[in-house]
Every structure is written in structure tokens, then in C-alpha cells.
Structure 1
Amino acid sequence: MYRILLTRVLSRTDAETVHHLTIRLLRILALLPLVKQILHGWLAPRDEALRVQAFGVHFPSPFGLAAGFDKNAECVEPLAALGFGHVEVGTITAHAQPGNARPRLFRLIGDRAIINRMGFNNNGATAAAKRLRKPRSLPVVVGVNIGKTKVVPEDEAARDYVTSARTLAPLADYLVVNVSSPNTPGLRDLQAVELLRPLLTQVKAVAGRTPLLVKIAPDLADEDVDEVAQLAVELGLAGIIATNTTISRKNVSSTEQGGLSGRPLKERSLEVLRRLHAKVGDRLTLVSVGGVESVDDVWERLLAGATLVQGYTGLIYAGPLWPSRMNRQLSRRLRRHGYTSIAQVIGRVD
């Protein structure tokens, strides 16, 4: 049914318009406690074998929603009700900003991919904090992904991230420093270790007990991936999220500018994960994202060393029942292989 809706209706409508409509529908759902409870009881992961612990936080499932969908922390409960084991909101900047000019979101249906050049459009840290402070009727693990305000110069980037962290870290189960989006000029330069070290040091000091992770790009050279991994261990970060979108257009049908997500990213994302695991082992929590479409992808990422796995583009192409279906299939996969917990799977094959 959803596939028919996607191909006959949604694909003929502007992608960002559909996204905003989806957010509005989820916000309406957020106002209906009974409906939320029913959906959560039906779709949320219930298998205890799926539970996993990472950086001191308990997750009902290793499979969560990546940043980029809920930019303003508007619908974390409805998304949890659909079955995601965690919801990462953002990217949120210290100051509200409109993002880049439209059109800025493009579906590549034949490639099972999306290109975006959104540019961190969001309402700012203060507005997000107001929403995150509201009482919740459903259990949900919330990660908060923060980025640099576009108008802030590079030499003031650390201060900008610190502003966001000070506002949002107390309200997050974990905090992510995003220095890897290709859609904010100069942002990826901050992945250079000489710039990244002082930035992460300052944010970590403000984050306090909130676990801090850094999100990296798939376009980093292998040697740079190694350096970031070493830095993360040195600074005592909680983990690394690998990877963000790519600027590569290898084997895709579009040359639109922006970050590419979805199936074409799968191979490189897995390569980076395996490299990180070989470098840091279990000293850091590794979160894998990029080209995750099926339970086979989740399983492969767990075996390669990921404790948590995220998706986003898969939701667009598979529909709202996708996270619940992934959890059910993951439960069956565990049983079939004779495992009783996700922890037994993580890192078994590099």
C-alpha cells in the first residue's frame, strides 16, 4: 500500500512539502495520548533480547532514527511509537536559521537515495529545549545533534557549539557534535584534528555527564578516520557516529549539489565502521548509519562492531511500519542464530 502511495502520489509532490506534511501529522499524533499508547503497544520493540546498553543508556532496540528527520524535536514520542529504539533530533544550531534556498531536497527513487542541501534549517536551541522539557507519556531515548550556525565564522565555531551544548545537553540522553554535513560552508574543515580537538574539549566540558559523540563524514580519507578515532579515545568521548551524507555521486543518476544518503552510501559507510572498530575496538560506542534498508544491513553493522544502527532514507522509501518490521525481523534473526541478546552479536565479525 505504501509503495503505491509513494510511486503514484508522493513522488509527484515536492519532497520537502511532503516532509513538512508528515511532521504536521506526527505533531497531531503527539496530541492524542490514547492513539500514541495504542501505536506504541503495537509497534514498539518488546523483545527483551533486543535491549542494548550504550554509554550508560538503555535502548529498547539497537535500531533508531538518524538526525535530519525531526530537526526541531517536534515529534519524538510519535516516532518512538512507530518502533524506533531511539530518536536523534536535529541538527540544531545555537541560533535559528532558515537554511539554504529551496528546492533543497530531492528523491532519487531509482537509486533508493535522497540528496539534500537543507543547510541546518531549524528553530534554534532555545526553541528545541522548550519542546524537550515537556513531560512525555511514552518512554523514548532522545539524542540531540548540534551543528554550527551558518553565519558564525570558523574561529568562533567552538563557542557556538558550546552555546548549543549548554542549552541542550541537560535535556538529552546523548549529545552529538555534527562537523560533517556538506551543506554548511567550511563545516567539514572542523573535522581536522587540530580544529576538532579544542572544539570537542570545550563541548565535553559543558556537556558534563551527558555522553558526547562526534559524527563524521564518509568522505574522510582513511588516515583522517583513524586520527578522529584516536582523538575520540584520547578525549574520552562516548562514541562516534559513522557516517553522515556523502558528496560523492558514484553510481547515481543525479548531479544535484548536497549530501547524498541511502543505498549508494552503504558500501562506504560499512567500510568506515569496520575501520573504526579495528582502530578502537570496544573503547568507544560505534553508531552506524548510511544505506541501512533491511534487517540484513542492521545485522551486518552489528557484526562489524556497531552497538547502535540508524536509518532515515529507508523510512522514506519503506514507510511508517518500517522500524517495527525491522525490529521483528531482527528478533527472528537473533533466535535463528541461537543468540539471546544483541550484545552477543556486536563485533563478532570485522
Structure 2
Amino acid sequence: MKRIYFFLLLIYSSLGANAQVKVKFELQNIPQNKDSIPEYFVAGNFNNWKPNDPAYRFLKVNDADYVLEKQLPANLYEYKITRGSWAKVESESKGNTIGNRSLNLKNDTTVKITIANWADQFKKEPPKHTTSANVHIIDSAFLIPQLNAKRRVWIYLPPSYASSTKKYPVLYMHDGQNLFDQLTSGYGEWGVDELLDSLIAKGQKEYIVIGIDHGGSERLKEYNPYNSEYGIGKGKAYVDFLVNTLKPYVDEHYRTEKDIKNTAIAGSSMGGLISMYAIATYPKVFGKAGVFSPAFWLGKTIETDVKNAMRNLNGSKVYLVAGDLESKTMVSDMKNMYQILNPTGKNKNIVMVEKVDGKHSEWFWHREFVDFYKFISN
């Protein structure tokens, strides 16, 4: 009888841990816009920030109001309202960009939303590229045979590269669209090039940085080595591309330090997950990793893989960072990984940073990149 009770308790606990919460979004007093038949969407970290996701389209209930009802896991979410594209995202009354809306979803909730205005209602200066002179495109359609796909690949060459003959360490980074250029970024850029220009001018070590564009709707699969609710993971093939196709190409065409100590990898969210996987799977290729706001919740098997790889990670440097204002399990998942990597807390090569104000956003990763860069440069 006790065994039956315990079994039922486990089932109940499991159901409770994955319980869905009802949320009702209500749009009210919507400003006029240019669309003959307007459609409204919510885009957030619950749907990979897709601005025209049909599953997150509001339904018209009367001449003035629109409603969207969903069931989501209890969690901390960020989102914005769009009319189907980021060019038609909500804005301040005078057209200025607004920050992400936040929703700490714990119980059934109704969210009443008032839109101040729309970004496309205002005449603006055409967007401009913000890359520094040290950023170049290796190839706008670099072949990834492991994924049967092509991606744009960026490179940041240190200021002294053109005038020297020395070799440089290399940092590989994911989500290339968001690293260097405001024009190509979906939600703001990291500003890696400007940060490096400034840090190097102050005496920090010079790195070559390689940025690989993500695959849009394929991102949740390409940056996940495991199967998930989003489909069959392609992360193993993606990391194989980095190790066996891209790195050999970079080492052949640029003056690089090829060894483990001079090869690093970094990324945020899904990019954090795949960076942790890369250093655990190829510890003789990547000697350093920057794991920003990692989406470990979409690949819990990463903990087992890291445990199994520990004997090969001696000397590896890992920098973990996340914020308290991110998803529900972000920080706790990061702490679990830190405990695996550094059980005694005495390994100075394994660092964990928790920031009270940290959000799942490029401005946060931009800010925290500085300390990470100093960490891998020493």
C-alpha cells in the first residue's frame, strides 16, 4: 500500500512540476495603424521571439479589443506586441523603442495591454550598419555540409592584425547576427567589436572572433544536441561543423593559434547550451567556454554528458553567467552545472556569476562580456 501511495505521489509531483497556467492577453485602445486589415501578435521568449507566429495571434472580439488565450508553464516571461514583423513592433508614443514587457506567470492571469504607438508610424533615418572597421564577412553563404545548409560567417580581426605577422587566439561565437551589427540583429546587438576595440586599446589580449549566423526557425534544433519538444536536435552535427569544417578553414586562411589553450567558444541561451556541450564533447579542441544564460532546461542531458567528461576537462576554463530576472530555473540550472564542474568550489578555472538585475537580453550579455573576455585572456 505504501508503494502505491508513493507512486501516486510521484505522479502528482511530476504533474505539478509541469503544470500549465492559463494566461489571457487583452489588447485595448489600440492606436491607428497603416494596415487595412490589422493583425496583432505577441512575440516573446515562449515562442523564440517570432513576430508573426500564427499560434500567438490575437483574435478580434469587438471593434476595439483583441484577445489571446494560452496555456504556458509557470515561469518568468518577456514579450512585445507586433503587427506581424519587427518593423511593426509597439513603441513609445513618439516612436522611441520600448523595453520588453515582463510577466511573472504563477497563477491563471489576465494581462490588459495598452499600446502607446507603433514603430512604423514614424519617419526614421534608414538603419545603418554599426560594425567597426575590424569586422568582415568571411562568406555570406558558408557551406555547412553536416546540416545541408549555408550560413553567413563573420570575423573580427584584431587592430594589429594587418600590420603584424603574429598569430592570435580565436573565440567562436553563435548567433552571429547579434554580435557586431545593429542592422542585422533582431533584438539589439552585443557590440562585441566595440567592446574589443576598447579593451584591446587598454592593453587586453587580442583575439580573433568568429561569428556564425543562426538558422532562424532551425535555431532551437541546431543549438540543441538532444531531442526536445521543438524537434530532433541537430547540435551534434553543428558542433561537428565547427570542429571539422569551420575551424580548419579559419586556421588555414588566418594567422591563428590552433591549440586548446587558444581556442574558446561562447554563446547565450541556446548558444550557452551548445557551448557547454562543445567543450564537454571536444575538450581537446576548445579550452575555454563562455556560457551566458544557458537554456539547460531544453537539454537536461547536458548534466550527464558533463559528468562523464569531467576527467577530460582538467585545465578547461568555463565562465557561467545568468541573471535573477530570467526564466524560472535559469539560475538553479546554472548552479547545478557549476556544482558538477567545481564541486569543491576551489577550481579558479570554473567561474559562476549571478546578477540580480540580469535579464535574458543582449544588453545584459554585452555588459557581462567584458568580464568573460578578461577571464579567457588571463
Fold in common (TM above 0.5): no
Higher relative contact order (CA 8 A, sep 6+): 1
Q: TM-score w.r.t. structure 2 length?
A: 0.32
Q: Radius of gyration: which is bigger?
A: 2
- Answer 1 or 2: which has greater strand percent: 2
Q: TM-score w.r.t. structure 1 length?
A: 0.34
